[in-house]
Amino acid sequence: MILSSLGDGSISLSDSLVSTLRDARSIVVLTGSGVSAESGVPTFREAQTGLWELYDPHELATPEAYQRDPKLVWEWYSWRRELVEKAAPNPSHEALADLERRLPEGLVLITQNVDGLHWRAGSRRVLELHGNIMRSKCSVEDIAVEAGADDENVPPSCPGCGAYLRPDVVWFGEVLPVGMLEEAFEAARGCDLFISAGTSGLVQPAASLPFEALRSGAVLVEINPNDTPLTRHADYALRSLAGEVLPKLVKAAFGGQVRGGRSGH
């Protein structure tokens, strides 16, 4: 493992890493909430701020919590939606969207994040493993549907069947979208470079993806200022903020202005 980090917090990129990115024919990037942290969206295991500091997210992001108190859960997600709506994509999101433009068929972006910031930055080949907080779905029919404009109920009701709506996200104990998960594992098996950025690597099945890539012979890069269970398995462990290193890495490998990087336009 090549550990890259300079004492002053800046990051040095080895030539071998840059050429690995440049020469890769199939890249998978797995992102977690650390990538959105620089947009002001709290990471998942960060102490909840404001009104919700008394609540453990594990007590809110579960079907049982929703059955017990749908109003509380809906209000917690409304609070998170407002955070996300105020947030903007940061240089990490921009650099990954830029990378997709340079490798339209060569990059699959898998995210655990539900904030939709990759899409807003311009990424289109995105697998949202845990859903998207900006979408709602019927809690009975399990179809994506939005509340009627004049529905003031909390939670609102499904216009079709009248059942409560819920956020279109995966809760603890729920299964991920099956087809999407298979697509993610197939991409991990077929890539020659796997980049894990901004995730603690603690939640399955997403946490197994980098190991699937390693088993298939991929080079593994981790971008995280802290250690994770993945760090010791990584070929390159970049102890840095994703917003610092991703624009640099894409620019070093492909040249040109990286939108959202320091000298971005």
Using the minimum distance from each CB to ligand OAD, give the nearer residue, 149 or 175: 175
Contact criterion met (CB below 8 Å) for 136 and 165: yes
Q: How far is the CB of 168 from ligand OAD (least distance, A)?
A: 12
Q: How far is the CB of 175 from ligand OAD (least distance, A)?
A: 11
**Catalytic, out of 93, 130, 233, 265:** 130
Shortest Cβ contact with ligand OAD: which residue?
Answer: 34
Using the minimum distance from each CB to ligand OAD, give the nearer residue, 70 or 225: 225
Token output for 113: 């994040």
Using the minimum distance from each CB to ligand OAD, give the nearer residue, 108 or 246: 246
DSSP letters for 30-91: EE-HHHHHTTTPPPTTSPPPGGGGGS-GGGTSSHHHHHH-HHHHHHHHHHHHHHHHH----H
* Interface positions with ligand OAD (CB under 6 A): 32-34, 37-38, 43-45, 61, 112, 130, 170, 197-200, 202-203, 223-226, 228, 241-243
Q: How far is the CB of 221 from ligand OAD (least distance, A)?
A: 12
**Measured between alpha carbons, how far is 24 from 103 in angstroms, rounded to an integer?**
10
**Measured between alpha carbons, how far is 178 from 180 in angstroms, rounded to an integer?**
5
118 is catalytic: no
Using the minimum distance from each CB to ligand OAD, give the nearer residue, 136 or 228: 228
Mapping DSSP to helix (H, G, I), strand (E, B) and coil, where does residue 127 land?
Answer: strand
Tell me the Ramachandran region of residue 162: left when phi exceeds 0, alpha when psi lies from -120 to 50, beta otherwise: left
Q: How far is the CB of 9 from ligand OAD (least distance, A)?
A: 12
List, by residue number, the catalytic residues.
130
